């Protein structure tokens, strides 16, 4: 069996599976439905699999599961070659890393509880390789299947569905849904679709909400750090629980380094257009800032939901430049708590003498930060002439007497803010002594006359040169170990020996062989799949030795 990972979103993986047949190879994709009923040529044909008990011998099939007699209340793991069966709820699972496919049954008493369903699936999934197949049969709710895929199920079947009322229609619908899910995984848009699925029943809503709240770490590793498409985040508070949103807020709190020379914190509202600086509102605010004498001493932070707070230098990162959420003019308690928590974190790490807020009236909760100066008059737009004039006057008064900040200092500290968010603890290894470029979005970092990195506005991250790669390699983070060859275009998983599990799709990575730097590029899969998969594109190389 050859398994090639194509894409991942959450724990849902689009896999291409090839099985050697007697006459020709058989290929199918996951997530998918195994069809035993014969009602459709779509999906995965049931005759690929064979099961045996003491009452039934194996049929001839490419994949033959170990013989297993289902005895109620019996819990066990049975293996045969590279396939296995899990019956019941064993207290101690064997290591499942050696298996290409694992089969289990969701009993009725498990499937009626979303918590037990989640626990069963995720407990098995965590012990499997990230490129292995989890096949779940039994009693599951058809309308919940996209969520089962999201939490790590690769295959379901029609064994129990065919006997349901309108069973054939349900199976046909599931086959279409599975095809949709595969396309959404490729586009990294599955989570947006699940917002719709979650509204179909209380069971689905609870499955998504509790699953993301309690299993964030498992899901987060399958979220890329970049996207080329808009991400639709709803007005529902569950958007705060999205793994990509939580990762953003966690990095702001734990790793982001605010500029120390900026002495005035200016809080401003978000905009529909992304990045924010391209919007009409933010362009108007920028024009005001350019009239201020010590403008580079002002640190702009955008107040928004569901991301909480976005420093201006991070407006190009995912999901800050990608999300789309309806503006309601009201804030939930959870949103307010998140915003205040992030702003307090930024204030604590910063070096601010004053906090200004140029925001509409519905942002009055910002007063909880302490001595906040609100610069927009009541009942007026924040971009009208009177509001903008008041903002300019207040900024000039507040900045008077503060140490002057040069443009180069502003760019350097903005770059450090991006590097600290991007590389987390490893950012301290990425050093530079000069920065060139008109602004942050086209900046380049230099050390001793050699280019270290250049800003990529598509990702909001810095792309490293080989000089920068040497620095990152010293951090012992974001590394991939390969066999003894020099990669020139792409590195495929077959040539990867090991990888840092902190790597996420879209991250900058250094490619090493026994400690020797061979290349630098962008990860196309997350770290655990890079180290476990034997097929698929792993790294897109930018520079090599």
pLDDT band at 162 (very low <50, low <70, confident <90, very high): confident
pLDDT band at 186 (very low <50, low <70, confident <90, very high): very high
Report the pLDDT averaged over residues 178-201: 94
Q: How confident is the model at residue 535, as a pLDDT?
A: 94
Rounded-to-integer distance, Cα 515 and Cα 420, Å: 24
Q: How confident is the model at residue 39, as a pLDDT?
A: 85
Rounded-to-integer distance, Cα 199 and Cα 194, Å: 9
Can you read off the two tokens belonging to residue 81?
Answer: 């070659």
Rounded-to-integer distance, Cα 446 and Cα 436, Å: 8
pLDDT band at 40 (very low <50, low <70, confident <90, very high): confident
CB 208 within 8 A of CB 243: no
| In the chain, domain spans | 2-220, 231-399, 443-544
Rounded-to-integer distance, Cα 37 and Cα 39, Å: 5
Report the pLDDT averaged over residues 371-378: 94
pLDDT band at 237 (very low <50, low <70, confident <90, very high): low
pLDDT digits (tens, 9 = 90+) for 255-275: 999 999 999 999 999 998 999
- Comparison of pLDDT for 190 and 70, the residue scoring more: 190
CATH class as words, domain 443-544 = mainly beta
CB 180 within 8 A of CB 150: no
**Residue 87 pLDDT > 90:** no
Report the pLDDT averaged over residues 75-81: 88
Reference 158, options 174, 177, 144, 146; nearest CA is 174
Can you read off the two tokens belonging to residue 481?
Answer: 């170990």
Q: How confident is the model at residue 236, as a pLDDT?
A: 59
Q: How confident is the model at residue 300, as a pLDDT?
A: 98
Rounded-to-integer distance, Cα 308 and Cα 257, Å: 16
Which burial class, exposed, middle or buried, applies to 502 when counting CB atoms under 10 A from its CB (0-12, 13-18, 19+)? middle
Reference 461, options 426, 431, 422; nearest CA is 422
**Residue 461 pLDDT > 60:** yes
With residues binned 3-state (H G I as helix, E B as strand, rest as coil), the percentages for the chain, rounded to 5, are: 35, 25, 40
Q: How confident is the model at residue 234, as a pLDDT?
A: 62
pLDDT band at 396 (very low <50, low <70, confident <90, very high): very high
pLDDT digits (tens, 9 = 90+) for 149-160: 999 999 999 998
Q: How confident is the model at residue 490, as a pLDDT?
A: 95
Report the pLDDT averaged over residues 470-491: 96
Mean of the per-residue pLDDT values of the chain: 93
Q: Is 180 helix (H, G, I), strand (E, B) or coil?
A: helix
pLDDT band at 130 (very low <50, low <70, confident <90, very high): very high
Rounded-to-integer distance, Cα 344 and Cα 328, Å: 24
Q: Of 18-22, 43-47, 67-71, which range is least confident?
A: 67-71
Q: How confident is the model at residue 161, as a pLDDT?
A: 87
CATH of 231-399, one of 3.40.120.10, 3.30.420.130, 3.40.80.10, 3.40.50.10630: 3.40.50.10630
Rounded-to-integer distance, Cα 24 and Cα 403, Å: 75
Query: What is the helix (H) or strand (E) element at residue 498, kind and residue range?
Result: strand 496-499
Q: How confident is the model at residue 329, as a pLDDT?
A: 67
Tokens 């990669």 sit on residue: 487
Q: How confident is the model at residue 291, as a pLDDT?
A: 95
Tokens 């290349």 sit on residue: 519
Percentage of the chain exceeding pLDDT 70: 96
Query: Which pTM value belongs to this model?
Result: 0.93
Report the pLDDT averaged over residues 123-140: 94
**Residue 290 pLDDT > 90:** yes
Assigned CATH topology for domain 2-220 = TIM Barrel (3.20.20)
Report the pLDDT averaged over residues 327-345: 89
Residues forming a β-bridge with 372: 355
Q: How confident is the model at residue 390, as a pLDDT?
A: 97
Q: Is 465 helix (H, G, I), strand (E, B) or coil?
A: coil
Q: How confident is the model at residue 16, as a pLDDT?
A: 98
CB 99 within 8 A of CB 125: no
Q: How confident is the model at residue 233, as a pLDDT?
A: 65
Reference 63, options 39, 99, 108; nearest CA is 99
Report the pLDDT averaged over residues 429-449: 96
**Residue 55 pLDDT > 70:** no
Rounded-to-integer distance, Cα 161 and Cα 170, Å: 7
Residues forming a β-bridge with 520: 510, 543
């Amino acid at each position: 069996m050859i398994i090639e990972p194509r894409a991942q979103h959450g724990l849902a993986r689009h896999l291409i599976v090839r099985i050697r047949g007697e006459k020709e190879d058989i290929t199918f994709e996951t997530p998918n439905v195994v069809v035993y009923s014969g009602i459709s040529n779509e999906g995965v044909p049931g005759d690929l699999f064979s099961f045996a008990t003491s009452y039934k011998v194996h049929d001839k099939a490419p994949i033959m599961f170990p013989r297993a007699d289902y005895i109620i209340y019996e819990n066990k793991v049975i293996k045969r070659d590279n396939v296995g069966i899990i019956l019941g709820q064993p207290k101690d699972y064997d290591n499942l890393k050696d298996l290409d496919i694992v089969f289990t049954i969701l009993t009725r008493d498990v499937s009626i509880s979303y918590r037990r369903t989640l626990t069963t699936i995720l407990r098995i999934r965590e012990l499997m390789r990230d490129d292995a197949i989890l096949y779940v049969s039994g009693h599951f709710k058809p309308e919940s299947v996209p969520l089962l895929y999201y939490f790590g199920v690769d295959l379901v079947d029609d064994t129990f569905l065919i006997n349901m009322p309108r069973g054939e229609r349900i199976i046909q619908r599931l086959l279409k849904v599975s095809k949709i899910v595969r396309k959404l995984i490729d586009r990294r848009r599955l989570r947006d679709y699940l917002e719709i699925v979650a509204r179909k029943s209380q069971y689905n809503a609870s499955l998504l909400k509790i699953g993301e709240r309690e299993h964030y770490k498992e899901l987060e590793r399958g979220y890329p750090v970049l996207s080329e498409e808009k991400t639709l985040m709803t007005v529902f508070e569950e958007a705060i629980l999205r793994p990509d949103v939580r990762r953003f807020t966690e990095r702001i709190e734990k790793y982001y380094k605010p500029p120390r020379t900026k002495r005035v914190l200016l809080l401003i509202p978000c905009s529909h257009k992304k990045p924010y600086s391209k919007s009409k509102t933010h362009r108007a605010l920028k024009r005001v800032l350019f009239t201020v004498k010590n403008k580079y001493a002002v640190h702009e932070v955008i107040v928004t939901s569901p991301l909480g707070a976005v420093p201006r230098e991070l407006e190009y990162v995912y999901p800050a430049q990608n999300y789309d959420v309806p503006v309601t003019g009201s804030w939930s308690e959870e949103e307010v708590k998140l915003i205040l928590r992030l702003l307090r974190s930024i204030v604590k790490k910063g070096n601010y003498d004053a906090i200004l807020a140029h925001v509409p009236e519905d942002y009055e909760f910002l007063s909880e930060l302490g001595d906040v100066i609100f610069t927009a008059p009541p009942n007026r737009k924040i971009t009208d002439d009177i509001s903008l004039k008041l903002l300019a006057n207040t900024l000039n008064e507040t900045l008077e007497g503060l140490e002057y900040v040069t443009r180069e200092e502003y760019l350097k500290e903005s770059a450090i803010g991006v590097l600290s968010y991007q590389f987390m603890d490893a950012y301290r290894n990425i050093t530079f002594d000069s920065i060139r470029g008109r602004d942050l979005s086209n900046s380049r970092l230099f050390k001793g006359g050699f280019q270290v990195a250049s800003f990529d506005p598509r990702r909001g991250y810095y792309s490293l040169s080989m000089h920068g790669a040497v620095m990152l390699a010293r951090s012992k983070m974001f590394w991939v170990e390969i066999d003894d060859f020099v990669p020139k275009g792409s590195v495929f998983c077959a040539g990867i020996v090991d990888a840092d599990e902190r790597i996420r799709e879209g991250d900058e990575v250094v490619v090493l062989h026994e400690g020797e730097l061979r290349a630098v590029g962008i990860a196309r899969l997350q770290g655990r799949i890079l180290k476990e998969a034997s097929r698929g594109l792993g790294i897109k190389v930018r520079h090599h030795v």
